[in-house]
């Protein structure tokens, strides 16, 4: 009997990926140890993670000094450091990739957030990054905005493994499944193999509760007579929304369209639960992880959530619980004047803006480090 909840979570079919990468993890062997222990089956990265690693540690000091002497710009230096870390992490996860026959063992690298509204540029950048990294277990992160859905389709048709990110609404998730299937169909029409293409759709969780809970708290402050009713809805929207997204995934995988693609060797585009750390300290630290356990899904967790789940996680498949409540919740919120559609649209816009700001902030940190002497 394995007593590590992270290992058991992987064994029941939900792959644990690490939402974290920094050079110290690689050079110390800590990342390799977690992989060999069966705790992790992939890694996701983003500019904020790189910014924190560069700004808050000395792990990149010598590398940045060398790049400064070569007169690298901040953007060139960031890409060089990121590519080195991504390649190294990909090598650590290569045994997982090979053992799972390409189902797991991926490392995700994001296209520039500045391209989030430019489909053609995003598609070209995805192809460039695939070549630059030069590892079979790379997933290129492409935002699932309306503008970039065609980039997802074209990248999949080109055989690029894609992590479609920044998904908040069930409606947009349907669009992403459509883009993935269309890309595979395009690829099949060219007579190309489908079994070499993997993808995940990153559905963001806790940010929805953060915004909906704020609205509920504001309403409770005004309408004290309904305070208990409003407070009872706190922390419900994100899990309900994600469970409804999983129902869409389950329906799609039973569709004739998918069965036809599967017969040609296509792989499922698994849902990936992102932003599963709790932002509200009154919620348990494994709140979202426990509620959304499901086979054939991925959960990418930051270090604190990984540590918490290792310590006191309780793996069991719970994705199908309280479905009637999940289906009713959008209507209950709408009666209060809270539109989930408007909330998720707002979160997508804020997410794009935040990624763009984070990218510029990260470049500023790199620029400052390049300018520093000694």
Which positions are annotated as active-site residues?
A: 141
- Bridge-based pairing state of the strands 106-110 and 14-19: unpaired
Q: φ, ψ for residue 102 (rounded to 5)?
A: 85, 10
- The backbone torsions φ and ψ at residue 14, rounded to the nearest 5 degrees and listed phi first, read -105, 115
Cβ-based neighbour number of residue 360 at 10 Å: 15
3-class secondary-structure state, position 166: strand
Rg (C-alpha) for the chain, rounded Å, is 21
Tokens 């990936």, residue located: 272
Element (H, E) at 299: strand 297-301
User: How many CB atoms neighbour CB 189 within 10 A?
Assistant: 9
Q: What is the spatial distance between Cα 174 and Cα 129, in angstroms, rounded to a whole number?
A: 26
Q: Which helix (H) or strand (E) holds 73?
A: none
Distances (CA, A) of 166 to 172, 187, 350: 10, 25, 10
Q: What is the C-alpha separation between 38 and 95, in angstroms, rounded? A: 12
Residues contacting residue 113 through CB under 8 Å, at least 6 positions apart: 47, 143, 352, 355, 356, 358, 359
* Complete DSSP assignment for 350-371: HHHHHHHHHHHHHHHHHHHHHH
């Amino acid at each position: 009997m394995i007593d590590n909840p992270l290992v058991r979570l992987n064994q029941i079919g939900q792959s644990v990926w690490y939402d974290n990468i920094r050079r110290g993890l690689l050079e110390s062997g800590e990342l390799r140890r977690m992989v060999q222990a069966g705790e992790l089956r992939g890694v996701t990265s983003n500019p904020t993670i790189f910014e924190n690693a560069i700004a808050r540690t000395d792990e990149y000091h010598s590398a940045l000094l060398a790049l400064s002497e070569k007169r690298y710009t901040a953007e060139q230096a960031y890409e060089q450091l990121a590519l080195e870390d991504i390649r190294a992490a990909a090598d650590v996860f290569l045994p997982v990739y090979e053992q799972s026959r390409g189902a797991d063992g991926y490392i995700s690298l994001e296209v520039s957030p500045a391209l989030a509204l430019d489909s053609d540029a995003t598609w070209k950048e995805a192809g460039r990054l695939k070549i630059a990294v030069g590892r079979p277990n790379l997933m290129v992160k492409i935002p699932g905005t309306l503008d970039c859905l065609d980039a997802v389709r074209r990248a999949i048709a080109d055989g690029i493994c894609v992590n479609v990110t920044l998904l908040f609404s069930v409606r947009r998730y349907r669009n992403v499944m459509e883009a993935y299937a269309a890309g595979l169909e395009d690829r099949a029409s060219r007579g190309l193999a489908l079994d070499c293409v993997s993808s995940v759709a990153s559905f963001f969780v806790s940010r929805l509760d953060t915004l909906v809970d704020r609205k509920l708290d504001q309403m409770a402050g005004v309408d004290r007579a309904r305070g208990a009713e409003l407070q009872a809805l706190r922390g419900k929207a994100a899990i309900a929304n994600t469970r409804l997204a999983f129902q869409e995934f389950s329906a799609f995988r039973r569709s004739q369209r998918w069965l036809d693609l599967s017969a040609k060797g296509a792989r499922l585009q698994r849902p990936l639960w992102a932003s599963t750390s709790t932002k509200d300290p009154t919620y348990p630290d494994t709140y979202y992880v426990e509620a959304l356990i499901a086979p054939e899904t991925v959960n990418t967790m930051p270090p604190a959530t990984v540590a918490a789940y290792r310590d006191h996680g309780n793996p069991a498949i719970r994705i199908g619980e309280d479905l009637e409540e999940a289906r009713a919740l959008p209507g209950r919120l709408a009666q209060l004047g809270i539109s989930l559609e408007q909330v998720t649209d707002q979160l997508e816009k804020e997410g794009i803006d935040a990624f763009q700001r984070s990218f510029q902030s990260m470049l500023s940190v790199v620029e400052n480090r390049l300018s520093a002497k000694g």
